[in-house]
């Protein structure tokens, strides 16, 4: 017996020695202290919040010497002593002894700046390299691939082939981030050749992981994609509120519900406003948003209060109810029943769920309550047991009301009626039709099944007319994966949280990781953090941008443009047309023209305006010639698309006015036009300048414009015999010019009189001044009677005055 004890003690000592050798003991102690630090650490107060970020987000200058953005908020750097004096030394000791987990933790600390630690990408890279040399690790491989893919924006080596290699190592070790990165890179040929088949393989792999997570965790409001936004949308988009054309991605549910509640309380009469307040306050906490985290417990309490208040009022003799009150009371019951059904904010309780859902349908039928009752009776969760007839009845009623989840649940009900796989199910025709309706209605889970049906190839048996290729199937898998933001894109939340603190470098890190995985909004946000267009006038000094960061911004803008982001496409055109001030960025008018053409094909007013500008000044076309006719066509298209968006049309109208003046007074254009017409002279030019009015369905005119643009861009010729113009426009133009000419002459005469009066004596000056102020009868003249062609304003204490003297 003693021999066994001795052997056992010997083995324990060996384990202790080995633990000391590989640093496990130091790692364990470091993990304990990390938990202690987590309980003690309080992050700094937020710089940005819901009340101050709109139209106020400012990205400071990036300081290359410090490898960080300027500290415009004057926050002192502070590292908690537990981290600097205890945790980091323990992890470093463990890593030196060969513990790969300690190396990965150190890499994460220096990459993500946990607990306000200053980031150091060079150190992080070294620790990740050290970790994978000790043992294969998917996360470490992904981070190495990310560093090679981005070059840490000028801080590390940039090598796309090495990036792909490390991503492949990560995918081989089941790292989801690596799989996503490879899926996107194969789809668009980043660092490799385009391969839709490989992209489909990787997206299918991630999608199946996502479905497993959904089945395990269920669908709750906290999986909603709320952090997948474009940062410039806080300022109205890449070009601001009046010019940006990409739809805004920032939607504050809390603000929306608050405004809707106030509007209903303001404009509804003879209703009990308590129900409105209860319902919308519950929704605010139920869903949450970027600046207001969801609070399911609070939402549950408010819904209980809503129902208790309704019960109390029902038993009141003086209670007067109408349909409006009943709507909100029914919604409160429906939401409360749903929360007990899915276990959101409380433990699952199917009896309570059934009670509140049935109460909701008795008060007012809602699609949500009908759907949940169908789900309840379709399973064994119902207190009375499974009842598929009832389930089908409830789900069909919800589907008729257009509820997207009802289509999914009908399909699932049909799937469960057979022991075979749903792809071989005898009801597969009906299953597919409901899945298709669910996709159209916006259901996330239906996207997965829809792609599965097409990938299996059996859709051609169900609907022979439907033909989907590899790219179409990939898009549906990709959309499904991107909707599961908390599962696959957790770095988006990290980016937003760091933005609130004013940590722009960490914000860029979070968005760029998601951007490398194909999130289009994150690509725009990354580009915006790397490069911002400069305003004409700002209280901040003008920024400079390094070539590495400009190239990185263009790379992300190009990726976003591939995803059909209009503002990104137009901005690429602007960068290649105008260059970047203070940098050696090479202009390319041909690239600019092509990007504007792509934007024009997406009905972009901004893109059409810029094409018109290039034709007006002879920029971009192969023969470098000015073409006022084509310029006018694209300005007209720009005006047409602008009218559809109800935006400011003044710049376009001014451009058309400028263009008509140029044509009118450009002798060469008139002579060229005379060669196509028997009559001649400026009056003929007037008669031939007829404005084109584009009907919304007039595709012929648009196609003609595109053909002419293509001809100009390629340096070939095009016949302009059919151009038509409007004399009325130029009659108005003539009157306008005459008006300004008269005012100009009046100003000159006033200047001459003032110059002559300056040579008179003081008495004459005083008399002349009085005559200038008073009318003939000695009374002061009305300011409106003194018409002049000048206006002024004050800049920095200096008065600036403009005079119309020429057009």
- Assign 319 a pLDDT band (cuts: 50, 70, 90): very low
| pLDDT value, residue 711 | 54
> Are 517 and 239 in contact, with CB atoms under 8 Å apart?
no
The values of phi and psi at residue 350, to 5°, are: -70, -25
- Assign 134 a pLDDT band (cuts: 50, 70, 90): very high
How does strand 790-795 pair with strand 798-803? antiparallel
Please determine, for residue 702, whether its predicted confidence score (pLDDT) is greater than 80: no
Terminal alpha carbon distance of the chain:
110
Eight-state DSSP code of residue 583: S
Residue 516 in tokens: 């490398």
Region 691-704 average pLDDT = 47
**Nearest-CA neighbor of 493 among 729, 256, 293, 202?**
293
Rounded to whole angstroms, the Cα distance separating 296 from 278 reads 14
Of 664 and 439, more confident: 439
Please determine, for residue 320, whether its predicted confidence score (pLDDT) is greater than 60: no
Please return the burial class of 507, using the count of CB atoms within 10 Å of its CB with bins 0-12, 13-18 and 19+: buried
In terms of residues, how long is the chain? 807
Q: State CA 250 to chain mean position distance.
A: 7
pLDDT in tens, 509-558: 999 999 999 999 999 999 999 999 887 777 778 888 998 999 999 999 99
Q: Max alpha carbon distance in the chain (Å)? A: 131
Rounded to whole angstroms, the Cα distance separating 689 from 616 reads 16
Eight-state DSSP code of residue 271: S
DSSP 311-342: HHHHT-TT----HHHHHHHHHHHHHHHHHHHH
Q: Is the dihedral of CA 182, 186, 189, 192 positive or negative?
A: positive
Q: State CA 590 to chain mean position distance.
A: 28
DSSP 339-365: HHHHTSSS---HHHHHHHHHHHHHH--
| pLDDT value, residue 793 | 39
Rounded to whole angstroms, the Cα distance separating 363 from 365 reads 7
Region 461-486 average pLDDT = 87
Eight-state DSSP code of residue 86: I
Lowest pLDDT segment from 462-466, 734-738, 763-767: 763-767
Please determine, for residue 726, whether its predicted confidence score (pLDDT) is greater than 70: no
Eight-state DSSP code of residue 192: S
The CA-CA-CA angle for residues 342, 348, 351, to 5°, reads 105
Please determine, for residue 226, whether its predicted confidence score (pLDDT) is greater than 50: yes
Rounded to whole angstroms, the Cα distance separating 358 from 375 reads 13
> Are 428 and 436 in contact, with CB atoms under 8 Å apart?
no
Of 556 and 75, more confident: 556
Q: Is the dihedral of CA 478, 483, 487, 489 positive or negative?
A: positive
- Assign 585 a pLDDT band (cuts: 50, 70, 90): confident
| pLDDT value, residue 522 | 96
Query: In order of start, what are the domains of the chain with their CATH numbers?
Result: 2-175 (1.25.40), 588-756 (no CATH)
Residues 6+ apart with CB under 8 A from 576: 587, 588, 589, 591, 592, 595
Rounded to whole angstroms, the Cα distance separating 611 from 601 reads 12
pLDDT in tens, 366-393: 899 999 999 999 988 888 888 999 999 9
Rounded to whole angstroms, the Cα distance separating 573 from 571 reads 5
Alpha helices in 79-137 (DSSP H): 81, 88-96, 100-112, 121-134
Please determine, for residue 253, whether its predicted confidence score (pLDDT) is greater than 80: no
């Amino acid at each position: 017996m003693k021999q066994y004890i001795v052997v056992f003690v010997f083995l324990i000592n060996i384990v202790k020695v080995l633990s000391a050798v590989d640093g496990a003991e130091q790692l364990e102690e470091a993990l304990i202290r990390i938990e202690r630090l987590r309980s003690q650490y309080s992050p700094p107060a937020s710089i940005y919040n819901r009340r101050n970020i709109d139209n106020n987000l400012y990205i400071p200058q990036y300081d290359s010497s410090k490898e960080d953005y300027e500290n415009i908020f004057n926050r002192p750097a502070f590292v908690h002593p537990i981290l600097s004096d205890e945790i980091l030394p323990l992890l470093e000791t463990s890593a030196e002894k060969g513990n790969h987990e300690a190396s990965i933790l150190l890499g994460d600390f220096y990459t993500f700046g946990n607990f306000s630690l200053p980031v150091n990408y060079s150190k992080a890279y070294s620790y990740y390299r050290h970790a994978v040399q000790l043992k294969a690790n998917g996360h470490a491989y992904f981070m190495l691939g990310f560093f090679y893919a981005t070059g840490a924006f000028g801080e590390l080596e940039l090598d796309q082939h090495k990036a792909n290699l490390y991503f492949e190592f990560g995918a081989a070790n089941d790292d989801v981030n690596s799989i996503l990165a490879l899926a996107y890179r194969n789809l668009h040929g980043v660092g490799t050749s385009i391969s839709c088949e490989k992209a489909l393989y990787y997206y299918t792999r991630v999608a199946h992981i996502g479905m497993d997570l959904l089945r395990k965790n269920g669908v709750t409001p906290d999986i909603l994609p709320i952090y997948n936004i474009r940062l410039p949308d806080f300022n109205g988009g890449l070009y601001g509120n009046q010019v940006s054309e990409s739809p805004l991605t920032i939607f504050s549910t809390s603000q929306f519900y608050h405004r809707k509640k106030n509007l209903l309380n303001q404009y509804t009469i003879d209703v009990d406003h308590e129900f409105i307040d209860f319902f919308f306050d519950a929704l605010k906490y139920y869903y949450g948003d970027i600046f207001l985290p969801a609070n399911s417990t609070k939402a549950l309490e408010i819904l209980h209060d809503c129902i208790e208040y309704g019960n109390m009022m029902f038993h009141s003799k003086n209670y007067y109810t109408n349909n409006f009150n009943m709507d909100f009371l029914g919604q409160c019951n429906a939401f409360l029943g749903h929360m007990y059904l899915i276990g959101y904010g409380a433990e699952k309780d199917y009896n309570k769920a059934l009670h509140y859902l049935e109460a909701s349908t008795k008060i007012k039928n809602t699609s949500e309550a009908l759907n949940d009752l169908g789900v309840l009776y379709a399973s064994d969760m119902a207190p009375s047991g499974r009842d598929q007839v009832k389930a089908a009845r409830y789900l069909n009623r919800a589907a008729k009301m257009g509820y997207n989840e009802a289509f999914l649940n009908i399909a699932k009900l049909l799937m469960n009626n057979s022991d075979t796989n749903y792809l071989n199910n005898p009801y597969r025709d009906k299953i597919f039709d409901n899945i298709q309706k669910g996709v159209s209605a916006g259901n996330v889970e239906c996207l997965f099944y829809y792609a599965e049906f097409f990938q299996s190839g059996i859709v051609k048996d169900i609907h022979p007319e439907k033909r989907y290729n590899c790219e179409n199937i990939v898009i549906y898998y990709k959309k499904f994966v991107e909707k599961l933001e908390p599962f696959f894109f957790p770095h988006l939340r990290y980016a937003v949280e760091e933005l609130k603190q004013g940590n722009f470098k960490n914000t860029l890190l979070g968005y760029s990781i998601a951007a490398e995985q194909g999130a289009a909004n994150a690509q725009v946000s990354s580009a915006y953090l790397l490069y911002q267009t400069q305003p004409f006038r700002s209280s901040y000094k003008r920024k400079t941008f390094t070539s590495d960061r400009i190239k990185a911004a263009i790379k992300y803008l190009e990726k976003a443009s591939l995803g059909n982001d209009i503002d990104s496409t137009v901005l690429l055109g602007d960068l290649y047309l105008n260059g970047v001030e203070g940098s050696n960025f090479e202009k390319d008018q041909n690239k600019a023209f092509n990007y504007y053409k792509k934007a024009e094909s997406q009905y972009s007013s901004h893109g059409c305006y810029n094409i018109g500008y290039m034709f007006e000044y002879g920029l971009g076309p192969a023969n470098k010639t000015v073409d006022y006719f084509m310029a006018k066509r694209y300005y007209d298209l720009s005006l047409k698309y602008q009218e559809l968006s109800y935006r400011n049309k003044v710049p376009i109208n001014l451009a058309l006015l400028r263009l008509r003046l140029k044509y009118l007074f450009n002798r060469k254009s008139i002579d060229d036009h005379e060669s196509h017409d028997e009559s001649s002279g400026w009056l003929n030019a007037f008669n031939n300048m007829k404005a084109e009015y584009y009907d919304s369905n007039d595709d012929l005119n648009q196609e003609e414009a595109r053909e002419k643009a293509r001809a100009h861009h390629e340096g070939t010729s095009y016949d302009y015999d059919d151009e038509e113009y409007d004399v009325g426009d130029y009659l108005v133009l003539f009157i306008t010019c005459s008006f300004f000419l008269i005012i100009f002459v009046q100003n000159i005469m006033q200047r001459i009189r003032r110059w002559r009066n300056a040579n008179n004596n003081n008495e004459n000056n005083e008399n002349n001044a009085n005559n200038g102020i008073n009318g003939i009868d000695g009374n002061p003249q009305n300011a409106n009677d003194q018409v002049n062609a000048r206006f002024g304003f004050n800049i920095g204490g200096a008065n600036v005055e403009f005079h119309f003297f020429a057009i």
